[in-house]
Structure 1
């Protein structure tokens, strides 16, 4: 149960960053009449038929700039630490005593080969 809850929270966190524009648009559509009446820059010019779209564009632009700023901050904070050794690498090889190899024993000699079983059955 707790694993599903954690997975759902992580999924929502990932999706919310990618769908911020969708959330802004949904909020705009839900409150479009109020935005057109109170927050629209062109509310005094009804011939433009803006209906609050200027406010929507402004919010989308702000969200995009905020996202770009967060990306730049994340890039500036990320760093790579390198571990550099100034001393040369020295390998020392230990010589092992040479052992004489014995020939491999032959377990299957041709003289011991039994071919009585490797033929087709005889008809009676």
Structure 2
């Protein structure tokens, strides 16, 4: 049962990168039918299109659909804000704010600048 679930999840993750190959395989298997019926240039045999126009359209439509879905997914994703509240001191508390979730904060050890040796002229 666990291995079946593993394979299903693996296919689900790899499917977007494999899907153009499925379109190409469909074209290869049905090339004669596509060239006779679906090709835009079927009445111009001197172009030797053989359905490549149909394949190009399908691949372009598939890429556009994937780009649109990606854009929508990015736009719907809530922004993650990282900020540092200093209050004019050297103590810095970066806070991760996620909408509708708990706020996580952690304290970085306070910074102390070295007093000596900072403003010396270079050795000759």
Task: State TM-score, norm by structure 1.
Answer: 0.63
Matched, 1:38 2:33: no
Give, in whole Å, the separation in 1 of the partners of 2:60 and 2:24. 12
Consecutive aligned runs of 4 or more in structure 1 exceeding 3 Å deviation: none
**Computing the radius of gyration over CA atoms, which structure comes out larger, 1 or 2?**
1
Give, in whole Å, the separation in 1 of the partners of 2:4 and 2:60. 33
Task: State TM-score, norm by structure 2.
Answer: 0.63
**Equivalence for 2:55:** 56
**Equivalence for 2:18:** 19
SS at structure 1 position matched to 2:50: coil
The aligned length equals: 85
Which structure exhibits the higher relative contact order, with contacts defined as CA atoms closer than 8 Å and separated by 6 or more residues? 1
- In angstroms, what is the RMSD of aligned CA positions? 1.9
Give, in whole Å, the separation in 2 of the partners of 1:24 and 1:68. 17
**Equivalence for 1:29:** 28
The answer to which of 13-22 and 53-62 deviates more is: 13-22
Q: CA offsets, 1:28-52, max 9 Å, x none?
A: 0000000000000000000000000
Equivalences for 1:45-124 in 2 at 5 Å?
45-80=44-79
Deviation at 1:80, TM superposition (A): 3.0
Give, in whole Å, the separation in 2 of the partners of 1:33 and 1:8. 34
